[in-house]
Amino acid sequence: MIPWAKFGALAEGGCESASGGADVAGAAGIYCGKCDYRAHGADIPDSQPTFHESWHRVAELKPRLRAGVHISRQVFRARLWYVVQDQANNCFFRINTAGYGFIGMLDGSRSVRQAWASCNARLGDEAPTQGEVIALLGQLSSHNLLEADVAPDAAAMFDRFKRRRSREMQGRLMNLLFPRIELFDPDAILDHGVFLVGWIFDWAGLLVWLLIIGAAAYVMLSGGPVIGTLITDSTNILRPDNWLLLLLAFIVDKTVHECGHAIACKKFGKRYGTGGEVHVIGIMLLIFTPVPYVDATSAWLLPDKWRRAIVGAAGMWVEFALAAIAAIVWRWSDPGSALHAFSYNLMFIASVATVFFNANPFLRYDGYYILADLLEIPNLFGRAVQFATYLLRRYVFGLKQAVDPTETPGQRCWLLIYLILSGVVRVLVCSGIILLLVANLRRYPELTLLLLIMAIIASATWVLVPVARGAWYPVSSPELLHHRARAVGISAAAVLALATGIGMVPMAHHSRVLGIVRTAHQRGVYARSGGFLKSATPSGTLREPVMAGAVLARLSNPVLQTRLAAARCKLDAVGVKYRKAAIANPVLAQILLRRMAALRTQVRRLSSQLNQLVIRAPVGGVWVNRYGRLHLGAYVRRGDRIGTVVNLSSPLIYAPAGQSHAAQIIRRGAADIELRLPGRPSDHMAAQVVRVYPGSASNLPSAALSYLAGGPFAPRAQSRSPTQSSARFFILVLRPVGHIRLLPGETVVARVRLADQPLGEDFLDTLRRILQSGTGL
């Protein structure tokens, strides 16, 4: 009889888990429901031998599962599986029918040899081989799931405990941004509270949820346009004076989120008889921010995948309702109050952040587990990684004994697609967060420390550790003993090719800036008299330039017309009195004569004002109407600009470029510039750089380039002018080369092709700009 520690040595392999669990691996196919990794494959390969040279060491042992182990049946992808629950550690494992048939015979009275013989007699070719049985028992023993009537090996048990704790610690060190601290067991509280709030996840709860969402949509849309206000408030989300409100909103939102998971798990657990136990509630330091979390892994026992998906979506369910309530409060509260700011932060976190993170199936949050449940592929990301590893080992390194971890051809397709998309999305999300912090460094230098911490951790987690593991595997792995030369050679060639491509091969590089069209020769047209716009010549419809004196717009002013008619009546009346007085009273006649002269002056002035209601072109050129057809009937005050007569033969484009873009254009030169018009993708033309203003500025050439109009520049917080930008920039003056008509005031996207350079050099330039922006250089 051998100590149980020997099983671990005979096993084919284990795994490390970020949550402290590990897969029980082997040919019987057991999976861990708590971690995200699947060890060596579930299927029984036909090429494995039936017998094993170490069989004599375990054949006469009489093991049995520990008393705290609970087993329930589930169906995944039309196949029967058994979920093994370790109630002591709250871990869940999945085992197939063949593995369950063997383990079910281990009752402490049968030996391993007898149990294996019974499996062979009952299952035939589907029975596990001796090597698979040894691996299965070794993995079960390594997780303390087996016991037997042998002298306990305390040292071995303690050693296994230390190895498990070491795996947990490694998982936590790999996840430095998210350490967890357990607080208490909320299961008893949920047993009583689920009767009060469990209705949230019934049809009544769905109706209430829809009413809340509908009320929020009505409030947001019925009070006028809110998009501009939302965008303006979003630019202040990272302001240091908003950090406290953002933190409080984050804690409130995540508390509600985790309560939703716990309540749904308990509700459906009681309904389906699995208990829905939630034994852990604690605090997770999410980037050093304390937020609550609950351990709802008992949802694994739910037999229906849709109920498991509802438990996974319960947090987002209540978050969207919370966001709707916050939106109503934000809309009705005083814009300058703390309640208004807090409700906006809560609305932002519970909606935008939830969609981008929690609902994202490619990050290991709620959306990921929902997708895994609906696809019925547990440990989705871990199995995708292992499938990619299998392809590498089998077809690149030539390891023919590598075991395919997939169960069906359709599963191979899902795993490969998911692995590619998840890798791309994770890099984009992390890069986006870092770039967002970089973009706000000059406005908020307090973000520098957070940026450096995130950059270091992201580099260590996604670059240094994977590269170190990838380099160590072909050198030290025992399974590559007879293929080491090929593995090392292919790995070295891949690294050399990658380094050459990054450091030496020039790549095309472009920079995009948004500009506004202006002309060198233009004449503003102003209203010389106030009135209502009656008609206006549309801009852009004249094939030929307008001639000087051409009618551009007509105004009407009933008050002015009434005053002119009254003045003329008074003039006629005074004229009658003058003619009578000229004979009878010469003195009165002289007074009336002077009054008639004043009335004639008033009539001429009013007539001139009426004539000025017809607006004519002061010079020849192309007419650009400011109002257009939709503004007919609007009142135009005296002095208002109603349009411009321009000479479009020489338009210029003023494009403010951020200091990083301008530095690249000035230092590396613009090899080629292409202009495109928003909304007109088929129209494009070339352009030339006329000059670059040498000093940086903060006053935009047009308000159309501001955030408020959809531009790239944030307005200055304390300024009332929409053209005052919070960031400084250089202004590029471009001259179009082409025959497409550009009207003043139009926005144009300039795509500037810079001199080609390798990706490595480009990365170093970007890193230098980040460091300079962080240090204020």
Q: What is the pLDDT of residues 544-564, one digit of tens each?
A: 677 778 888 888 888 888 888
**pLDDT single digits (tens) 50-100:** 777 778 788 888 888 887 787 878 777 777 888 887 766 667 777 778 888
pTM for this predicted structure: 0.60
Instruction: For 463, list phi and psi in degrees, rounded to 5.
Output: -120, -60
Instruction: Tell the CATH superfamily of the 509-517+648-758 domain.
Output: Efflux pump adaptor protein, beta barrel domain (2.40.30.170)
705 alpha-carbon distance from chain centroid: 24
User: Does residue 633 carry a pLDDT above 90?
Assistant: no
CA distance 40 to 14: 8
Name the residue with tokens 């770039």.
435
- pLDDT for 441 equals 61
Tokens of 84: 């093994």
The angle formed by the CA atoms of residues 740, 743 and 749, to the nearest 5 degrees, is 70
**CATH placement of domain 2-174:** 3.90.930
Kindly list the distances between the CA atom of residue 655 and the CA atoms of 517, 675, 700, 704, 747, in Å, as whole numbers in the listed order: 9, 11, 9, 12, 9
Handedness of CA 411, 417, 420, 425 (dihedral sign): negative
User: Does residue 627 carry a pLDDT above 80?
Assistant: no
The two beta strands, 697-699 and 30-32, are unpaired
- Max alpha carbon distance in the chain (Å)? 150
Higher pLDDT, 636 or 323: 323
Tokens of 730: 């250089």
Half-sphere exposure of 384 (CA within 13 A, CB side): 19
Give the range with max mean pLDDT: 15-24, 173-182, 351-360: 351-360
- CB 76 within 8 Å of CB 419: no
- Which residue type sits at 739? H
User: Does residue 187 carry a pLDDT above 80?
Assistant: yes
- Which residue type sits at 735? R
- pLDDT for 146 equals 80
User: Does residue 18 carry a pLDDT above 50?
Assistant: no
Q: What share of the chain is helix, strand, coil (3-state, %, to 5)?
A: 50, 20, 30
- CB 688 within 8 Å of CB 734: yes
Among the ranges given (31-35, 224-228, 468-472), the one the predictor scored with the smallest mean pLDDT:
31-35
User: Does residue 493 carry a pLDDT above 60?
Assistant: yes
CA distance 45 to 401: 10
Tokens of 592: 């009336």
Neighbours of 559 (CB within 10 A): 9
Within the chain, all domains assigned CATH 2.40.30.170 are found at 509-517+648-758
Within the chain, all domains assigned CATH 3.90.930 are found at 2-174
- pLDDT for 135 equals 78
User: Does residue 3 carry a pLDDT above 50?
Assistant: no
